[in-house]
Structure 1
Amino acid sequence: MGEPSTAKFPQEVIDEYAALGVDLPALFSAGNLGSRMGIQIIEASPERVVATMPVEGNTQPYGLLHGGASAVLAETIGSIGAMLHGGSSKIAVGVDLNCTHHRGVRSGLVTGVATPLHRGRSTATYDIVITDEQDRRVCSARLTCMVRDMRPGDADGVRTS
């Protein structure tokens, strides 16, 4: 789970990272936590990142989707958008996350969509909307990432040729 092998990436992004020998699915995956939570990246570009996450396995004791799970989904997709904005020589690191939870969900999938509010040289801020299968808003989030130059060791764990 969590492998973005079916995600749609813009061709120029694929080409840019391929030229560096970077494994794009590994770089833009949901990471270890996201994989354990079942996050699937569906679409990814600097302008829009879409992912799904199952409610099952990500609930709190009352059987509702855990607010922390929504936060993980929001930070994952906002960070991917910021990383794509920065390009292959930059990394994006979340510095501020705000989530407002609007309704409980007990089953099915939730979908997160991240769109940019600001994309600058050193920061990127994304608006994230998480909805249930009936397209009802579950959570509204905002993530700001610091975008900085990649340093040796930043890509550890990401396969390169």
Structure 2
Amino acid sequence: MDSKNVLEKLNSLNKNTLMETLSINYIEVGEDYLVATMPVDKKVHQPMGILHGGASVALAESVGSAASLHFIDHSLGEVRGIEISANHVRSIREGMVKATARMVHRGRTTLLWEIRIEDEKDRLISLCKLTCIILERK
């Protein structure tokens, strides 16, 4: 499947989900990575008017899980996130953030992703790590 079709398929899965609520959009896919964007506006702010860390984590888990979904052999099973951590290093009040999930490890049953969330000037906002597990289909 070419990258345009992959992105269309992943974005179509966002309907009626948290990803749609947060306006997360998958924009680029490569050999071992997936990129998504999310606008920073009032709906993702915390009370001080900056990007909420939970919204950043939701973006990170969304792009890492979607990448896992894309990169596994679906005959093996289904993907679930089992652990996520985040370091928030810079705040942002408005604009767009971009999350790039890159595969760090691909095991038989687990996938490890590093997700860098950056602003429009490529400054690091958050650095996240996501572990996903492949569950057997029942």
Give the TM bin, normalised by the shorter chain.
0.7 to 0.9
Partner of 1:40: 25
Q: Does the 8 Å contact 1:98/1:141 carry over to 2?
A: yes
TM-score by length of 2: 0.87
Task: Give the CA deviation at 1:87.
Answer: 2.1
Q: Alignment identity in percent? A: 35
Which segments of 5 or more consecutive residues in structure 1 lack a partner in the other structure?
1-7, 15-22, 152-161
What are the residue-to-residue correspondences of 1:1-161 with 2, within 5 Å? 9=3, 24-25=9-10, 28-29=13-14, 32-45=17-30, 47-56=32-41, 57-89=43-75, 90-151=77-138
> What is the alpha-carbon root mean square deviation over aligned residues?
2.3
Q: For the structure 1 residues 124 and 50, does the alpha-carbon distance in structure 2 shift closer, same or farther, using more than 3 Å as the test?
A: same
Instruction: Give the paired residue count.
Output: 135
Offset at residue 82 of structure 1 (A): 1.4
In the TM superposition, residue 88 of structure 1 has moved relative to its aligned partner by 2.2
**Alpha-carbon distance between aligned partners in 2 of 1:138 and 1:30, rounded to the nearest angstrom:** 26
CA shift at 1:121, angstroms?
1.3
Q: CA deviation at 1:94?
A: 0.4
Q: Normalized per residue, which structure has more strand?
A: 2
- Stretches of structure 2 lacking an aligned partner (at least 5 in a row): none
Task: Give per-residue Cα distances to partners, 1:6-62, cap 9 Å, x unaligned.
Answer: xx7377x69xxxxxxxx9346753860011001001123561110000111211000
1:128–1:140 Cα contact (<8 Å) kept: yes
Q: 1:48 and 1:99, CA in 2 relative to 1: closer, same or farther beyond 3 A?
A: same
Query: What's the TM-score once normalised by structure 1's chain length?
Result: 0.75
Which entry has the higher C-alpha Rg, 1 or 2?
1
AA at the equivalent of 1:139: S
